[in-house]
Structure 1
Amino acid sequence: MSRLLLLATGGTIAGRGADSATLNDYSAGVLRGEDLLAAVPQLQDLTTINVEQIANVDSADLLFAHWRDLVSRIREAFRMDPDLAGVVITHGTNTLEETAWLLQLLIDDPRPVVLVGAMRPATALSADGPLNLFQAVQVALTSEARGHGVLVVMDGQIHGAQRVTKLATQGVGAFASPGSGPLGWVDDVGVHFPMAGGSRQVPFAGLDLPEQWPQVPILYGCVEPEALMLTACLHAGVAGVVFTGTGAGQLSAGERSVLLAWPGKRPLMLRSNRCGSGPVHRCAEDERLGVLPAGSLNPQKARVLLSLALIAGLDREGLAALLSATPLSATP
């Protein structure tokens, strides 16, 4: 039988409530990875799974240090074990998409890395975690998953790391991939990928992650945003800024004025949008303001990319070249 590595990080899938009817008031990251496997004995018929506990937290409390440990362990596992079929990561849903995108940019191996979570705690009636985990393992074991990059399996759907996002606070179908849809699906018949995987861009495959990461705040666009937020970031000397612009990533007149009046060096800056889907294209004022369009990346994923770009020492021109390269282009 093939082998899988399961890396547990906590989240709702490992959560526990006061009783089986409790869906919202529960503690995330209580059960350990071994407990999750024990709750799905059918997995023993599929493969041999080695379990390691990276963290056991609500994913809202995930730290850069946890990301560093995940990347290091996955790289080591693939390097040391050529017979390893893939890696499955149990993860809280709140920041699952950010971890998936980080790994997409850093892990250069065709073998599957599959993230999975749950919208209901393990103690709930009709908990979705056990089936989600079973299906994530199914996906990680299939040869069709190779070459598709980092994947997210939730509610029977298989999503790619770049597009997937959490769109709802409740309900087992909370994840979607705006602009493209899922890559495939999994059911009792098997794993289905309509399109074959292929080569992919891994721009930071050899990047070593530091203990101290650059500061990259996200500023949210709205009616008359407080100029002091951007001003404070500039005075604090942040390394990067992501704007959650209105519409197609538009900055307000006040934000543009602050940037144009700033006498010092500007941070590396990206414009995303708050709409939930759709690209942000280059505009005539980008050069004057010193910002770049984030393409199809939502604000939280734009922050991940910008953070890695800063760690890698990219300047604005280098980041612009990366953003223009497939599959990081602005169009779906």
Structure 2
Amino acid sequence: MYYKESLRRHTSKSEFDVSKLEALPRVDILYSHVDDDGVLARAAVAAGARGIVHAGTGNGSIHQNTEKELVNAQKSGVVIVRSARVGTGPTVPSVARYTEEKFLDGDTLSAQKARLLLQLALTKTSDLKEIQRMFDEY
């Protein structure tokens, strides 16, 4: 049962064709926590992740040690998407350094939904502006 109509693109209005896909690209989710040391970010890159969704606190905040590792990952071609581990609310580009570091914003999507959208996006492109467009529309 639906209580509200979706205002975003979805299902039959999607630009994604999964009928010909054999597999989706590897995208890992990292959850923010106190004293995070960035080890899991390095492990995701070493395992071949093409994308990382970071589920941060509040507005998708990232622990400083993990942030350094995510910057290194982004510089090596891994797409980084910020999401929040809180119940509701969007991540927005209000923190200038995240925008400067070329981290994308997951808007209102949970980390799990952001992961799936990033996997689908990576089947079409690795262009950061195009992937952000997808996160803005879906």
Render the CA deviation track for 1:293-312: whole Å, top value 9, x for unaligned.
10010110001100100112
Distance 1:241 1:300 in 2: 11
How many residue pairs end up in the alignment? 135
Go from structure 1 to structure 2 and tell me whether the alpha carbon gap of 1:260 and 1:322 turns closer, same or farther (over 3 Å shift): closer
Aligned to 2:67, which of 256, 260, 284?
Answer: 256
Structure 1 residue runs of 4 or more that deviate by more than 6 Å after TM superposition:
none
Q: Partner of 2:133 in structure 1? A: 321
Q: Identify the match of residue 285 of structure 1 among 97, 105, 108.
A: 97
Structure 1 unmatched runs, 5+:
1-152, 159-181, 184-194
Which residue number in structure 1 is paired with residue 33 of structure 2?
222
Change (3 A) 1:198 1:226: closer
Structure 2 CA distance, aligned partners of 1:260 and 1:199? 30
Matched, 1:299 2:111: yes
Deviations 1:14-71 (A, max 9, x none): xxxxxxxxxxxxxxxxxxxxxxxxxxxxxxxxxxxxxxxxxxxxxxxxxxxxxxxxxx
Higher strand share: 1
Give identity over the alignment, percent: 27
- Note if 1:233 corresponds to 2:44: yes
For structure 2, the residue ranges without an aligned partner over 5 or more in a row are none
User: Relative to 1, partners in 2 of residues 1:203 and 1:266: Cα closer, same or farther, differing over 3 Å?
Assistant: same
Deviation at 1:232, TM superposition (A): 1.2
* 1:231 partner SS: helix
Higher percent of residues as helix: 2
Contact 1:256/1:289 (8 A) holds in 2: no
* Superposed displacement of residue 284, structure 1: 1.0
Paired residue for 1:212, among 13, 16, 23? 23
Counterpart CA distance in 2 for 1:234 and 1:308 is: 19
Query: What code does the residue aligned with 2:54 have?
Result: F
Contact kept? 1:234, 1:266, Cα under 8 Å: no
Give the TM-score of the pair, scaled to structure 2: 0.83
Per the TM alignment, residue 243 of structure 1 is displaced from its structure 2 partner at its CA by 0.5
